[in-house]
């Protein structure tokens, strides 16, 4: 195997290799092709075209440039690699197996089978070496932008003169489909503006998508578009020439370290399904097995005599990168040990942040935030959110915030935060009107490690970012979405901005914790829980309108952490006759309804339910203690009512809104749609009949 460049050097030389090198690399590319062909054929399902077409591109990057260690997929300073065109998953599976990751040939043979480590699209946490889950096109590219942003931020935080411990590239493979998706445009625009020069994308320009040749629906001048977005573009590279791709990568890496460096798009012209005599260059090879006859013809055309799922010894040896990877990490570790000697506090902080641990004084900060929130009355929960950030964020340097052009409304900035930009590392970014891109970038930052990202927009615009929210949940990433203006309570902006179905819809996403706090204390608890959570994302749905405090006892915070709790039991101490469940801004209506019913001699319990998912994770005994199964219940929320029926049952009722809103002041809207304390009172009386 060729000698490796020294740490910090640009990488491949771009010099022509000897004929023997070219020959072995040609066979290395064919190994990728045939592993993809054989796995898809065995599964009778998959996408062989992209792996076959990108094989030489993969050789150029993975064999000559990529800084990684197959023996330790989590090495902090490894290059990040993203296969954005995730349908070509056999490309990355082949590369991971060939270079020595813990992905044995048996897993490639089990491609797309139940519980294998080779699912239909790459999934982080399932396959060693996969950095992000891809499949929804364009999002992997946007994740890569987030990873590059995280690398820049961490380099600014930790690198010191003479001690560089954060210094890696982010690589992304993408195709025409990724570039057609709007999220890629959002992310590319921001990457160019921020000049994320250590981001290098290799574009598989094969001109084919599922429906056929793309010129009928995708005629963009992609190189010109990316140049206009502020990217360095290398045009018209022969994607089947390892030397040409290597030279382009070398140029990209060299310009990346200049002061005026830009992200790079390398446009590689390829033939989809290269190597298939009868299907190459057609959409037939995009998403279907070649068939036995064409597999045999491909083997013959490539001169590949090895049996399915077998590799020639020289090809396997040429691909094996374990020894080189261990050496790379060892070299970095020596540099880090030197860094630790010179900067022990910074080294410990780096290790803490990359491990995802919170600082040792976290509990004290949380308690201070709870105590401050308990004294706060008559404040919108979006403002209470900012106050919680004021208390919590200064002690969390890993927090990276932002907003989709709504900072003054979402209130995602906090005391002492600094604006991130092209020449400023910062910890708060104005993403512009790019909700989907923002959410996908946050996923990339979380996946990279070392940062806890959060970002804000209006709740109704969660529709724009929804698939990235879903992907964060699927990947179990610590990402926090701040969704403000959460109901008809935002008032005059009208139904286009008033969320009705959004909160119930978000609650349906598995592994997403949706918090809708009712006052400042519940908001502070929601923030603390979201920051502490390591196994999934959280969404904080916050009010525009001011809300009263529901109690100034900070000890209530322990109850709030359980997602649902008894806020106020029957005042006379007697057994309640019914339960009223409130959430968010409508919890105050539940309290007012209880007061009216008490005056009429009807005993009711008020339960505050800021997070249904957290409440659902409590044990059955606790749930039954809060919501006794034998008591009728009424739920109240200014949102679509259907989800609440699982809590109120057939005997219960829901006071909600199943239509779109109107443009009017908030009090008029609540009265118009019948979301009032009087309506709750009448609903309780009905369920008690």
Binding site feature residues? 47, 87, 135-137, 176-177, 206, 208, 286, 382, 409, 461, 485, 493, 497, 544
Structure tokens, 230: 């502020």
Topology (CATH) of 563-688: Rossmann fold (3.40.50)
What is the helix (H) or strand (E) element at residue 45, kind and residue range? none
CA angle, corner 432, sides to 430 and 437, nearest 5? 100
Burial status of residue 92 (CB atoms within 10 A of its CB: 0-12, 13-18, 19 or more) = buried
Which whole number is the average pLDDT over 264-281?
A: 98
CA angle, corner 411, sides to 664 and 494, nearest 5? 15
Binding site feature residues for substrate? 47, 286, 382, 409, 485, 493, 497, 544
Residue among 427, 425, 370, 432 nearest 407 (CA): 432
Q: What is the pLDDT of residue 470?
A: 98
H helix runs in 114-181, sequence order: 139-158, 176-180
Residue 3 has pLDDT above 60, yes or no: no
Residue 339 has pLDDT above 70, yes or no: yes
**Helix pair 139-158, 344-355: axis angle to 10 deg:** 160
- Contact between residue 216 and residue 283 where contact means Cβ atoms under 8 Å apart: no
Binding site feature residues for thiamine diphosphate? 87, 135-137, 177, 206, 286, 461
Residue 150 has pLDDT above 60, yes or no: yes
Residue 16 has pLDDT above 70, yes or no: no
CA angle, corner 184, sides to 179 and 189, nearest 5? 115
Label residue 347 by pLDDT band (50, 70, 90): very high
Backbone phi and psi for residue 226, each to the nearest 5 degrees, phi listed first:
-70, -35
pLDDT tens digits, one per residue of 440-454: 999 999 999 999 999
Label residue 573 by pLDDT band (50, 70, 90): confident
H helix runs in 508-604, sequence order: 520-532, 556-560, 587-599
Q: What is the pLDDT of residue 22?
A: 63
The average confidence (pLDDT) of the chain is 95
Give the CA diameter of the chain: 94
Q: What is the pLDDT of residue 586?
A: 98
Residue 423 has pLDDT above 80, yes or no: yes
Which region, left, alpha or beta, applies to residue 540 given φ > 0 means left and ψ of -120 to 50 means alpha? beta
**How far apart (Å, rounded) are the C-alpha atoms in residues 328 and 351?**
19
Structure tokens, 98: 């060939």
Beta bridge partners of 170: 80, 199
Q: Select the more confidently predicted residue: 238 or 553.
A: 238
pLDDT tens digits, one per residue of 300-336: 999 999 999 999 999 999 999 999 999 999 999 999 9
In the chain, what are the domain boundaries?
25-326, 361-541, 563-688
Residue among 59, 68, 65, 127 nearest 93 (CA): 127
Residue among 28, 61, 104, 106 nearest 304 (CA): 28
Q: Select the more confidently predicted residue: 4 or 43.
A: 43
Residue 174 has pLDDT above 60, yes or no: yes
pLDDT tens digits, one per residue of 100-133: 999 999 999 999 999 999 999 999 999 999 999 9
Q: Give the residue numbers marked as catalytic.
A: 435
Binding site feature residues for Mg(2+)? 176, 206, 208
Residue among 175, 209, 220 nearest 57 (CA): 175
Label residue 481 by pLDDT band (50, 70, 90): very high
Label residue 5 by pLDDT band (50, 70, 90): very low
Residue 10 has pLDDT above 60, yes or no: no
- CATH code: domain 361-541 is 3.40.50.970
Q: Say how many CA atoms lie within 13 Å of 335 toward its Cβ.
A: 21
- Contact between residue 391 and residue 369 where contact means Cβ atoms under 8 Å apart: yes
Residue among 356, 411, 442 nearest 544 (CA): 411
pLDDT tens digits, one per residue of 54-94: 999 999 999 999 999 999 999 999 999 999 999 999 999 99
- Contact between residue 68 and residue 171 where contact means Cβ atoms under 8 Å apart: no
The answer as to CATH 3.40.50.970 being correct for domain 25-326 is yes
Q: What is the pLDDT of residue 325?
A: 98
Q: What is the pLDDT of residue 17?
A: 52
Number of neighbours of residue 676 by Cβ within 10 angstroms: 18
Quick one: DSSP state of residue 385?
H
Which whole number is the average pLDDT over 343-364?
A: 97
How large is the C-alpha radius of gyration of the chain?
28
Length of the chain: 689
Which whole number is the average pLDDT over 225-248?
A: 98
Q: What is the pLDDT of residue 624?
A: 98
What is the helix (H) or strand (E) element at residue 539, kind and residue range? strand 538-541
Residue among 531, 492, 545 nearest 381 (CA): 545
- Contact between residue 463 and residue 502 where contact means Cβ atoms under 8 Å apart: yes
In the numeric block, the tokens 């060892």 are attached to: 330
């Amino acid at each position: 195997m060729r000698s490796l460049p020294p740490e910090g050097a640009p990488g491949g030389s771009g010099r022509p290799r000897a004929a023997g090198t070219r020959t072995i690399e040609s066979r290395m590319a064919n190994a990728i092709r045939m592993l993809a062909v054989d796995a898809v054929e065995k599964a009778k399902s998959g996408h062989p075209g992209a792996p076959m077409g990108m094989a030489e591109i993969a050789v150029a990057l993975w064999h000559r440039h990529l800084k990684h260690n197959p023996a330790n997929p989590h090495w902090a300073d490894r290059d990040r690699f993203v296969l954005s065109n995730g349908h070509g998953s056999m490309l990355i599976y082949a590369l991971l197996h060939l270079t020595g990751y813990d992905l044995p040939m048996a897993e490639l043979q089990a491609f797309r089978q139940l519980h294998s480590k080779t699912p239909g699209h790459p999934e982080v946490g399932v396959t060693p070496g996969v950095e992000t889950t891809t499949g929804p096109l364009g999002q992997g590219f946007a994740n890569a932008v987030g990873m590059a942003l995280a690398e820049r931020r961490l380099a600014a935080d930790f690198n010191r003169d003479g001690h560089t411990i954060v210094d890696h590239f982010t690589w992304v493979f993408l195709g025409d489909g990724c570039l057609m998706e709007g999220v890629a445009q959002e992310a590319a625009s921001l990457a160019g503006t921020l000049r994320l020069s250590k981001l290098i994308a290799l574009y598989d320009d094969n001109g084919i998508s599922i429906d056929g040749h793309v010129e009928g629906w995708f005629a963009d001048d992609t190189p010109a578009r990316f140049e206009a977005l502020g990217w360095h573009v290398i045009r018209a590279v022969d994607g089947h020439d390892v030397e040409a791709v290597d030279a382009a990568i070398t140029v990209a890496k060299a310009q990346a370290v200049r002061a005026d460096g830009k992200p790079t798009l390398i446009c590689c012209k390829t033939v989809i399904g290269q190597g298939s005599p009868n299907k190459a260059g057609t959409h037939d090879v995009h998403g279907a097995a070649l068939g036995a006859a064409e597999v045999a013809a491909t083997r013959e055309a490539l001169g590949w005599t090895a049996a399915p799922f077998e590799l020639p010894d020289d090809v396997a040896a040429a691909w094996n990168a374990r020894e080189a990877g261990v050496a790379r990490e060892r070299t970095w570790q020596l540099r880090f040990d030197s860094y630790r000697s010179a900067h022990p506090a910074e080294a410990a902080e780096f290790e803490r942040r990359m491990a995802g641990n919170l600082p040792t004084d976290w509990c004290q900060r949380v308690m201070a935030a709870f105590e401050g929130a308990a004294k706060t009355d008559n404040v919108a929960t979006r403002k209470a959110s900012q106050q919680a950030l004021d208390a919590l964020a200064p002690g969390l340097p890993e927090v990276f915030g932002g907003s989709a052009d709504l900072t003054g409304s979402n209130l995602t900035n906090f005391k002492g935060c600094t604006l991130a930009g092209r020449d400023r590392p910062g910890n708060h970014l104005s993403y512009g009107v790019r909700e989907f891109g923002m959410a996908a970038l946050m996923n990339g930052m979380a996946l990279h490690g070392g940062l806890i990202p959060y970002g804000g927009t209006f709740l109704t615009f969660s529709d724009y970012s929804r698939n990235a929210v879903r992907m964060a949940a699927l990947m179990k990433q610590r990402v926090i979405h701040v969704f403000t203006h959460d109901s008809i309570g935002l008032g005059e902006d009208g139904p286009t901005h008033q969320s009705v179905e959004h909160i119930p819809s978000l609650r349906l996403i598995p592994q997403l914790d949706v918090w809708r706090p009712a006052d400042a204390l519940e908001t502070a608890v929601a923030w603390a829980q979201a920051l502490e959570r390591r196994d999934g994302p959280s969404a904080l749905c916050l009010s525009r309108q001011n809300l009263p405090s529901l109690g100034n006892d900070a000890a209530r915070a322990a109850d709030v952490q359980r997602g649902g709790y008894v806020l106020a039991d029957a005042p006379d101490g007697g057994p309640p006759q019914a339960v009223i469940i409130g959430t968010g801004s409508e919890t105050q209506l539940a309290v007012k309804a209880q007061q009216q019913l008490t005056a009429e001699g009807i005993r009711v319990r008020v339960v505050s339910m800021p997070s249904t998912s957290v409440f659902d994770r409590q044990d059955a005994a606790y749930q039954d203690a809060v919501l006794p199964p034998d008591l009728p219940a009424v739920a109240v929320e200014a949102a679509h009512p259907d989800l609440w029926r699982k809590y109120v049952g057939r005997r219960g009722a829901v006071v909600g809104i199943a239509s779109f809103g109107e443009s009017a002041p908030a009090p008029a809207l609540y009265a118009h749609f019948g979301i009032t304390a009087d309506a709750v009172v009448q609903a309780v009386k009905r369920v008690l009949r």
